[in-house]
Amino acid sequence: MKQTFLNLLLSLFITAAFAKEANAQSVQQNLNISFLLDLSDRIDPKKNPGIYQRDLQYIKSVQRAFINHVKGKKMLLLKDQMQVFFNPLPNIPNINELSEQLKVDFNPKTSKKDFLNIEKVYTDNPAKIYQRAIKDGNYVGSDIWKFFKNNVREYCIKPQHRNILVILTDGYMYYKDSKIEEAGKSSYITPQFLNLKKLTTASYQSIMKQKNLGFIPFPYNLKDLEIVVLGINPSIKNPYEEDVIKQYWADWFKAMKVKKFELRITDLPSSLEPVINNFIQGSHKP
């Protein structure tokens, strides 16, 4: 009887200790990483040589950081996931199957095979998606603004997770069916649009403030979402284009109370990998 009681106490102690450890593990350690891929003509090799290959390397950098994070956790505490989104869905063969395979969920039942499989899937499938989109040549564009309007809260924010959205885009925003302007604010920007608004000089900030320019925000509180924008590729014809693009995105994110964000121009994947690692590890400062 005494031994049974001691065993019960020991069991309760172990259970309580594990619960305490699991509870002590910050929500920050449960990663939920989402990709939003811009498959517009920015990836056309004739228009922008090398861009799609860089995108693929950026994706691999995020995947490696994710795997390193997961490997650093105890199996019983695994609660991490990663997925890829498009808006609209590209019209290429097997896109549903390819994107479904890119949805990964690591939990206590995850096997060693799953760890190995994610590296292969995140090497093969993005390459297939980009190459098929390029081969099709009918670039449907990317409606990032509408994705934020309709999907970002439901798709990219999970309770009890650190939610990170990685957007691969050139920084311009345009989709023919979402071209809206309201009191200075717009759902899009293009090089031509920025020239039209005279945002080509050092006084771009005062012009934006005076004319109330910026992306149309939504009345959302995205305090549980962190965002990394990779691949911003400003026109070389305007020396202030990079600054203006970043101002548009920063103001938009701040208006929607995004927890923190990073805006990076297109660069060598080897140069951006430390930035990606630092962000995912939580050492990035807003």
Q: Using alpha carbons only, how large is the chain's radius of gyration in Å? A: 22
- Please state, in angstroms and rounded to a whole number, the distance separating the CA atoms of residues 189 and 213: 10
Q: How far apart are CA 96 and CA 191, in angstroms?
A: 33
Nearest to 265 by CA among 241, 238, 237: 241
Task: Give the chain's domains with CATH numbers.
Answer: 28-281 (3.40.50)
Q: How far apart are CA 181 and CA 130, in angstroms?
A: 31
CB 58 within 8 A of CB 189: no
CA distance 276 to 161: 18
Round to whole Å and give the CA distance between 204 and 68.
41
Tens-level pLDDT at each residue, the chain (286 residues): 545 544 544 444 444 444 444 444 555 589 999 999 999 999 999 999 999 999 999 999 999 999 999 988 888 899 999 999 999 988 888 999 999 999 999 999 888 788 788 999 999 999 999 999 999 888 878 999 999 999 999 999 999 999 999 999 999 999 989 999 999 999 999 999 999 999 999 999 999 999 999 999 999 999 999 999 999 999 999 999 999 999 999 999 999 999 999 999 999 999 999 999 999 987 544 4
166 three-class SS: strand
Tokens found for residue 36: 């939003």
Q: Do the Cβ atoms of 250 and 261 come closer than 8 Å? A: yes
